[in-house]
Structure 1
């Protein structure tokens, strides 16, 4: 199993990617695990869903290229991309607050996962970025469309087009990170959520519905689908396959 799901005493559900040796990269097992956590959180009385990564080196390093390098055609890529995009849209529209607890570096698809959460908390000193542009592809799990909903246009556009890692302080200034912490990640997250977790679940769901309704009306799901298809086209390009080959053959 590449993940754990725990119900904590304070009333939230904790999902942890447990692939520290792979810098908590996402494979199909992790995808299914996120889906399972979303399902459980939507069915029980959890007041929040927190997503984090094992250890203190990486929150999530994106898609596991040791798995996904086997995808060559746009059809093969689309199957994987659309699966994860559907999961992230379910996460985005989960009727309770969601938190990305960024305890280490967050790269590429890891930032897409974080963007789909309502709040992003990061440890001082981490770096994160939407680096997909360096791989000759775009965000392919819906992260670009989601980011456009959450950040000012210029901030989101520059972050995506630069395709560079940024410091936690820079990401907070741009609006991507909501709060910084120093040491104990979970305790810091619990402190950030203390007042939220004290509220009636029906209140939290009613407020969350304001945003999910907005995203439904603005046809965000359709925009994500367009993003997935565009990424799938780029995925089968020579430029992307050259990048993947260099990555797989590096020392």
Structure 2
């Protein structure tokens, strides 16, 4: 089974699906390669909107695959992996067209960072999401902390990051993290959410997106993400993190 699926629709939506439901759609290096491939395809002028979802109905993305990354022990080893994914999420963040995360299931840790890199988020009503990295004695490390400081009110962003908790769909909407809750088909719901945007020329959508990209450039977003990644790498090396990961894997 291929670990990811890329589909293009006639209305201009390009959909990237993480296809590892048996691993709760956790990110490994294959998923990183697939996301890079999809982002390159998204630059095509025929694509108006780039969407991301997960296979199945349990998880959108459970973050990094701990079974794959548990062998990373040192700051430098962690930094190499974290910077690889953060570079991709910055590329997603800066994509010159609207982006949307279709939250089919739980989005935790790095999965919440992946969702935060998108412009919009639609969630099924049973979804829960949160930046739980703090429970593993690390911070966000793919840029998600920086992204939510741009997307949410400061107090709401700080609450989500510092509580390291999961929130239900209604709470996520109240926080401003989710823009729409649905109990129907996610892709069809996204088309309803985006219907007026999809009527416009892609060049118009891109021009408006550039207004935000210019703002983020002036706010030194990429440099801030790099600092976030470096700090997470430092914490990754600490024994406190390795103890919490071992404890988590032991539960499983």
Provide the TM-score with structure 1 as the length reference: 0.98
Report if aligned partners of 2:137, 2:235 keep a CA contact under 8 Å in 1: yes
Q: What does residue 219 of structure 1 align with? A: 220
SS, match of residue 173 in structure 1: helix
Q: What CA distance in whole angstroms lies between the structure 2 residues aligned with 1:170 and 1:210?
A: 29
| 1:4-63 deviation line (CA, Å, top 9, x unaligned) | 111112111010000000010111111111111111101342000010000111111111
1:38-57 map, 5 Å = 38-57=39-58
What residue is the counterpart of 1:178 in the other structure? 179
2:72 — aligned with what? Answer: 71
| Offset of residue 249 of structure 1 | 2.2
**Cα deviation, residue 80, structure 1:** 0.3
Unaligned runs of 5+ in 2: none
Alignment partner of 1:94: what SS? coil
Is 1:97 aligned with 2:98? yes
Aligned residue in 2 for 1:85: 86
Aligned to 2:8: 7
Count of aligned positions: 251
Separation of aligned partners in 2, 1:195 and 1:152: 26
Within 5 Å, which residues of 2 pair with 1:1-251?
1-251=2-252
Aligned counterparts of 2:206 and 2:229: Cα–Cα separation in 1: 29
**Equivalents in 2 of 1:49, 1:60: separation in Å?**
17
- C-alpha distance in 2 between matches for 1:213 and 1:205: 12
Is the Cα contact below 8 Å between 2:45 and 2:202 reproduced in 1?
A: no
Query: What is the DSSP-based 3-state SS (H/G/I as helix, E as strand, rest coil) of the residue aligned with 1:16?
Result: strand
Q: Secondary structure at the match of 2:11?
A: coil
TM-score, with normalisation over the residues of structure 2? 0.98
Segment drifting more, 240-249 vs 88-97: 240-249
Counterpart CA distance in 2 for 1:34 and 1:197 is 23
Alignment partners' CA distance in 2, 1:20 and 1:230? 30
> CA deviation digits over 1:96-128, x for unaligned, max 9?
100000011100000100000000000101110
In structure 2, C-alpha distance between the alignment counterparts of 1:235 and 1:10, rounded to whole Å: 43
Deviation, structure 1 residue 234: 0.2
Task: Give a deviation string over 1:161-191, Cα, whole Å, max 9, x none.
Answer: 0000000100100100011111211111111
Give, in whole Å, the separation in 1 of the partners of 2:249 and 2:135. 15
For the aligned residue pairs, the C-alpha RMSD in angstroms reads 0.8
Distance 1:67 1:130 in 2: 20
Contact 2:19 / 2:54 at 8 angstroms: preserved in 1?
yes
List gaps (5 residues or longer) in structure 1.
none
